Chain A
Amino acid sequence: MTTETSTSTGRVPLQRPYRPPRKRGTTSIWRRGLSGRATFVIGVASSATLVAVWHLLSATALVSPLLLPPPLRVAETFWQFLTAEYLGETLVGHTAASMTIVAGGWLLGGLVGLPLGILIGWSDRVRWLVFPLFQLLRPVPPLAWIPLAIVWLGIGDPARIFVVFLSAVVPWTINSMAAVSSVDPLLIRAARTLGAGDGSILRRVVIHTATPTLVAGARIALGNAWTTLIAAELLAASAGLGFVALNASQTLSSDILLVSMGIIGVLGALFSAILRGVGRAVAPWAKEA
């Protein structure tokens, strides 16, 4: 600090804090990483803005409330729909109807897909026989089976379970196949050399490698099942969230439509979160995909 200090005149000393000159090539403010707190605040602010814009759009009737009801009305409809019946069931009833079918198709998919995948992963011959058929059928989306399912099984639960099963069985099979073939044979031989029996190899080596892939398969299968179920309910159902959504759209009850879409989204996210949690619980050593 060698600046002049002319205290006699009472002048303020000429001191400026050091600021490095901003050079070309330094990280601009837009590119800097954000703290967790800043990320949270920005996220909340942007979500709030979105809801506010939505509210303004419908409150000022820029968009007809028939097409986009205000957020408050959607919330109110949700509350009423919890107890009041629409198309023969309350919201809880429709949700339960959807979840029953999903659970059925998903579990059936696992029941068939798990052993099939393990077999395909284990034996070359089975893989050579089954995989081409699999590849042949895979490009046909499960949805495209809906008309055929209706012809075979009628408009009812079995048709929907069948279609959901088709969508879930593929990831179940593929992932259990991958789980089996991803076990390094060297590890098995090493374990055997070290004196491990079959049982202990299965418990300590195979399951260790296979579990994360299997749980991931279960999660993907559930996601597919849920997506496909909604489509199936648009076509062949007398209850369920997809059925509600389509009917609400046809009767211009857009508030009910948005409520059902919201529940569909929340449940989808919930399923995914639950199975991620299961994955962490049963295989804490695995890296999250």
Chain B
Amino acid sequence: MATTDVKAPRRASEAGPALDVRTRARNHAIASIGSVLLVWLLVTSVFGLLDPETLPSPLDVARAIATLAVDPFSGSTLFGHVASSVQRWGLGVLAAVLIGVPTGALLAWIPPVRAAVTPVFELLRYIPPFAWIPLAVLWFGAGLTAQSAVVFVAAFPPMVINAQLGVAQVDPLLDKAARALGASSATTLARVVFPVATPSALAGVRIGLSNGWMALIGAELVVGSEGLGFVISQAQSNGETEVIVAGMVCIGVLGMLFDLALQKLSARALRWHA
């Protein structure tokens, strides 16, 4: 906390009792989230200023989540929809990792390949993943393949770009030194390039995962008959606003969990890294 102590004199008026800055930050966070929830509750349940079709109360939303967990909604329970979303997302993202990361490494490592691929890649990269939804549906029909393809399109570019950046960071001198010491290409890749490139490549994977999740929700909103995106769009046509909000909560929580999991994993994988 030394840094904050140094800053303190700038705002002498706030000195007050010497509370730890982190505690104060946490108190503020609790206060702000708590008051938003309270206002939400007051406006909807207590005073009934907004009708539940416009904004359901937090209690309604909690109840909707509980109901979704046991009663099937449009074909399956919440877990069924989550499973189908996660499956499509997983397939698309897995393909993007398996193709994107090696592609990025190749682009950085071999200049002629970079010269050949970069113009095409840059051209296609600017087409947002959602613009591929109609084409994916046309090509693969409205189903698992189309949605996984959209996830792939969304997750692929950051993985390529960051893997490329990572490999490009390798000091050419290190490469030459390894060669001079008799290392083969494979050894150089494994012992010199891989450690340098991994942090950036993993950051790309993380961006790709969250892009893919977002694209999947978009794809499920537009086409398909299962998944969380489908749940909220179906709830909208049924006029069940509390189910919409419940679905949004699930989408947000799952997205956050995936990101946290990857953050933990990459922190563990990169323990040697500063």
Contact = CB atoms under 8 A, between A and B. Distances in A.
Contact of A143 (B10, B124, B214, B245): B214
A24 B115 CA distance: 26
Contacts of B130: 143, 227, 230-231, 234, 242
Contacts of A277: none
Contacts of B252: 137, 139-140, 144
A245 interface: yes
B119 A46 contact: yes
B172 to A, nearest CB: 9
B165 to A, nearest CB: 12
Contact of A245 (B117, B134, B182): B134
Contact of B256 (A25, A42, A139): A139
Contact of B53 (A124, A139, A140, A151): A151
Q: Helix, strand, loop or mixed for chain B's interface?
A: helix
Contacts of B253: 139
Interface in A20-76: 24-25, 30-34, 38-39, 42-47, 50, 67
Most chain B CB atoms below 10 A, which of A44, A67, A246: A246
Most chain A CB atoms below 10 A, which of B33, B116, B137: B116
B138 A67 contact: yes
Nearest to A266: B126
B135 A143 contact: no
A46 B132 contact: no
B248 A144 contact: yes
A269 B131 contact: no
Contacts of A114: none
Interface residues of B, number: 68
A14 interface: no
A151 B32 contact: no
Nearest to A45: B116
Nearest to B116: A46
A143 B128 contact: no
Interface string B244-274: 1101110111011001000000000000000
A44 B115 CA distance: 9
B54 A152 contact: yes
Contact of A42 (B116, B124, B251): B116
Contacts of A250: 134
Interface string B212-230: 0110011001100000010
B135 to A, nearest CB: 6
A261 B132 contact: yes
A248 B138 CA distance: 9
Interface stretch (B67-75, B90-98, B231-239): B231-239
B128 A264 contact: yes
Interface stretch (B76-84, B104-112, B197-205): B104-112
B158 interface: no
28 contacts: A25-B176, A25-B180, A30-B112, A128-B24, A129-B28, A129-B32, A131-B29, A132-B29, A137-B252, A141-B251, A143-B130, A143-B218, A143-B221, A143-B229, A144-B229, A145-B248, A146-B221, A148-B245, A152-B54, A231-B128, A231-B130, A235-B222, A235-B233, A241-B131, A249-B135, A257-B134, A264-B128, A272-B126
Given A128-B24, A147-B233, 18 more contacts: A44-B119, A67-B139, A128-B28, A129-B31, A137-B252, A139-B252, A140-B248, A140-B252, A141-B217, A143-B214, A144-B252, A148-B244, A227-B129, A235-B221, A246-B133, A249-B138, A257-B135, A268-B127
Interface of B: 10-11, 21, 24-25, 28-29, 31-33, 36, 53-54, 109-112, 114-120, 122-124, 126-135, 137-139, 176, 179-180, 182, 213-214, 217-218, 221-222, 229, 232-233, 235-236, 239, 241, 244-245, 247-249, 251-253, 255-256, 259
